[in-house]
Amino acid sequence: MQHSPILIIGKNAKTGRRVDHGLNALGYATRAVSRSTSTPFDWEEQSTWRAALEGTESAYVTFYPDLAIPTAEQTIRDFVALAEEIGLVHLVLLSGRGEAGARRAEAVLKSSRLDWNIVRSSWFMQNFNEGFMIEGILNGELILPAGAIVEPFIDIDDIADVAIAALTRPELRNRLFEVSGPHAMTFAQSAAEISRAVGYDVKYTQIPIDDFIQGLEDQGAPEGMLWLMRELFTVVFDGRNSNPTTGVEDALGRPATEFSEYISKVMATGAWDRGGMLSQA
């Protein structure tokens, strides 16, 4: 029986809000925190960590901006040390496939005194409708510095379901779930599938990484985002993550969501409707 709320770091994050809603639907009490909540949590302000952690025994943790950044390992080390001191028992960490920095952060958790789970994820399908790519889709041209490398995009709803299973099923503790979609595809193939569904042309255009970064800089993107985008498209998207994994099925006993199923869900929200309001639900 649960006696304390489940801490969710990243109340407004793509996965965080889904894990929060899913746990609440199952009857679990949660404490979802972000920089703007009444009990604030800010990764860059360690003074905010203790109040968020106190009184909790388990946590789902998303790191901002990304575990790939050079400072993430030490930040996670400090956070885990405080979690151990306060008495947290179980921590579920969202991580990223193919990121050296993320692997170092994972190692910190695995070597701690906490029960742990790591959900190591592929690129989110929802980046096409909840992230920076939606503008390109609505404009009819997705412009990215990615070529013919394939990626097994994953539905974030699957990630949330795996995290919820890890948080609520003790027999799954101390396991790493590397999760992806069931099939790998290029960005061009993804754009073509979306184009067929929405009924207007969405073409894919590959541009040099320097031009892409310059465009983001011109739009006022912060330095951290520029670093992450360069790291992603020059290092992580080199083919290392092209093979689909069985993590979703291992945790849930069902296959991962197909890209076509994801498209159907987005179509129902109207997010790609050029004449309607953009939905971020």
Q: For the chain, what is the mean pLDDT?
A: 95
Number of structural domains in the chain: 1
- Asked if the structure places residue 174 within a domain, the reply is yes
pLDDT tens per residue across span 59-82 = 999 999 999 999 999 999 999 999
DSSP letter at 167 equals H
Q: What percent of the residues of the chain are helix, what percent strand, and what percent coil, each to the nearest 5?
A: 45, 15, 40
- Asked if the structure places residue 24 within a domain, the reply is yes
Number of continuous H segments (helices) and E segments (strands) in the chain: 11, 8
pLDDT tens per residue across span 81-117 = 999 999 999 999 999 999 999 999 999 999 999 999 9
- Asked if the structure places residue 137 within a domain, the reply is no
pLDDT tens per residue across span 6-57 = 999 999 999 999 999 999 999 999 999 999 999 999 999 999 999 999 999 9
- Asked if the structure places residue 149 within a domain, the reply is no
Task: Compute the distance between CA of residue 239 and CA of residue 148 in angstroms, rounded to an integer.
Answer: 9
Q: The domain containing residue 65 runs over which residues?
A: 6-122+154-179+242-256
The domain that contains 92 carries what CATH number? Answer: 3.40.50.720
| pTM above threshold 0.85 | yes
Question: What does the H/E/C string look like for 126-152?
Answer: HHHCCCCCHHHHHHCEEEECCCCCCEC
- The string over 245-278, giving b where at least 16 C-beta atoms fall within 10 Å of a residue's C-beta and e elsewhere, is bebbbebbeeebbebeebbeebbebebbeeeeee
Residue 2 pLDDT level (bands cut at 50, 70, 90): low
